[in-house]
Amino acid sequence: MALDPAFLDELRARTPIAAVIGRRTKLVRSGRNWKACCPFHGEKTPSFYVYDDHFHCFGCGVHGDVISFVMQSEGRSFPEAVEELASAAGMEVPRPDRHQREAQQEARTLGDVLEAVQQAWRRRLYQNEGREGLAYLRGRGLTDETIEAFGLGWSGDGRGGLLAELAAHDITPALLAQAGLMRVDENGRPKGELFFNRVTFPIRDRRGRLVSFGGRILGDGQPKYLNGPETAIFAKRRVLFGLDRARAAVRAPRGGPDAPPRPELLVVEGYMDVIALHQAGFAGAVAPLGTALTAEQMEALWQVSSAPVLCFDGDAAGQRAAVKAAETGLPLLNVDRTLRFCVLPEGEDPDSLLRQQGGAAMSGLIEGARPLSEVLFGLLSEGVPRDPSPEQRAALRQKLVEAANLIPDRGLASEYRSTLLDRFFATFRRRPASDARGGGRQGGMHGTRPFPVPAADAHGVPVTLDAQAVTLERMRILTAILLRHPEVLEDVQDAYCRLDMPDELSGLRAVMLDMLAEEGGDRDAPALLLALEERIEAMGLSQARDRVLSSHPLPLSAQKQDGDLMSIDARQEWWHFYALLNVERFARDLRLDTERMCGGEFDEQAWESLRVRLLALEALRRGGDIPDTQ
Q: Distance (Å, rounded) from C-alpha 464 to C-alpha 462?
A: 7
Cα–Cα distance for residue pair 545/559, rounded to 1 Å: 19
Does residue 392 lie in a domain region? no
494 within a domain of the structure (yes/no) = yes
CATH assignment of the domain containing 148: 3.40.1360.10
Strand partners, 312: 343
Torsion, Cα 577 580 586 588, to 10 degrees, reads 150
Burial of 6 (0-12, 13-18, 19+ CB in 10 A): middle
Residue 415: exposure state from Cβ atoms within 10 A (0-12, 13-18, ≥19): middle
Per-residue pLDDT tens over the stretch 256-313: 566 677 899 999 988 999 999 999 999 999 999 978 899 999 989 998 888 999 998 8
Q: Is 449 a residue whose pLDDT tops 50? A: no
Cα–Cα distance for residue pair 69/75, rounded to 1 Å: 9
Give the whole-angstrom CA distance, residue 553 versus residue 536.
Answer: 21
Q: How far is CA 132 from CA 126, 135, 174, 236, in A?
A: 10, 5, 30, 29
Q: How much is the pLDDT for 582?
A: 79
Q: State how beta strands 33-36 and 28-30 pair.
A: antiparallel
Q: Is 257 inside a domain boundary? A: no
Residues paired with 227 in a beta bridge: 214
- Amino acid occupying residue 384: V
Q: Computed from CA positions of residues 566, 572, 576, 582, in that sequence, does the dihedral angle turn out positive or negative?
A: positive
For residues 575 and 547, state if they share a domain: yes
Examine residue 285 and state whether it is found in any structural domain, yes or no: yes
| Confidence bin at 98 (pLDDT 50/70/90) | low
Residue 576: per-residue pLDDT: 83
Cβ atoms < 10 Å from Cβ of 513: 22
Q: Which residues contact 142 (CB under 8 A, 6 or more apart)?
A: 152, 275, 276, 279
- pLDDT tens-digit profile of 547-568? 888 866 555 454 444 444 334 4
Q: Which of 29, 58, 88 is where one domain is finished? A: 88
**Contact by Cβ (8 Å): 52, 64:** no
Domain end point (choices 346, 361, 379): 379
Closest CA to 46 of 60, 67, 64: 60
Per-residue model confidence as pLDDT tens digits over 420-446? 888 888 787 644 433 433 333 333 333
Instruction: Read off the pLDDT of residues 310-350 as tens digits, 9 standing for 90 and up.
Output: 998 877 788 888 889 998 999 999 888 899 999 888 888 89
- Please provide the average confidence, as pLDDT, over all residues in the chain: 80
On whether both 193 and 327 belong to a single domain, the answer is: yes
Confirm whether 123 is domain-assigned. yes
| Percent of the chain whose pLDDT exceeds 70 | 83
The set of residues, in sequence order, having a beta carbon less than 8 Å from that of 467 and lying 6+ positions away, is 437, 438, 439
Q: What is the CA radius of gyration of the chain?
A: 33
> CA 25 to CA 37: how far, in whole Å?
8
Per-residue pLDDT tens for 32-53?
788 998 888 777 788 888 988 8
pLDDT of 108 reads 60
The CATH number of residue 83's host domain is 3.90.580.10
411 located within any domain: no
pLDDT reading at 149 higher than 50: yes
Which bin fits 31, alpha (ψ -120 to 50), beta or left (φ > 0)? Answer: left
Residue 488 has pLDDT above 90, yes or no: no
Q: Are residues 545 and 607 in the same domain?
A: yes
On whether both 106 and 80 belong to a single domain, the answer is: no
184 with 330, same domain: the answer is yes
For helices 390-405 and 503-519, angle between their N-to-C axes, nearest 10 degrees: 70
Q: Of 153, 3, 138, which is closest to residue 79 (Cα–Cα)?
A: 3
Are residue 352 and residue 495 in the same domain, yes or no?
no
Q: Which residues pair with 184 in a beta bridge?
A: 190
Query: Of the residues 41, 61, 88, which one is the last residue of a structural domain?
Result: 88
Output the pLDDT for position 121.
Answer: 94
Three-state SS at 477: helix
123 and 35, same domain (yes or no): no
How buried is residue 35: exposed, middle or buried, by Cβ count under 10 Å (0-12/13-18/19+)?
Answer: middle
71 and 206 part of one domain: no
Helix (H, G, I), strand (E, B) or coil at 627: coil
Domain encompassing residue 466? 429-622
583 in the same domain as 478:
yes
The reply to whether 474 falls in a domain is: yes
Output the CA torsion sign for 376, 381, 383, 386.
Answer: negative
Q: Are residues 615 and 482 in the same domain?
A: yes
* Short-list 477, 489, 496, CA closest to 519: 489
Q: Is 365 left (phi over 0), alpha (psi -120 to 50) or beta?
A: alpha
Q: What is the largest CA-CA distance in the chain?
A: 111
385 touches 408 (CB < 8 A):
no
Which range has highest mean pLDDT (23-37, 361-375, 500-514, 572-586)?
A: 361-375
User: Quick one: pLDDT at residue 514?
Assistant: 79
Among left, alpha and beta (phi > 0; psi -120 to 50; other), residue 552 is beta
Q: What is the pLDDT of residue 595?
A: 73
Range of weakest confidence among 28-37, 248-257, 500-509, 521-530: 248-257
**Domain shared by 347 and 285, yes or no:** yes
Number of domains present in the structure of the chain: 3
Backbone phi, then psi, for 265, in 5-degree steps?
A: -80, 115
pLDDT tens for 162-198 read: 888 888 778 888 888 889 998 877 776 778 888 888 9
User: How does strand 33-36 pair with strand 190-193?
Assistant: unpaired
The answer as to whether 386 is a domain residue is: no
Q: Are residues 522 and 582 in the same domain?
A: yes
Q: What is the DSSP letter of 456?
A: B
Q: According to the model, what pLDDT value does residue 310 have?
A: 95
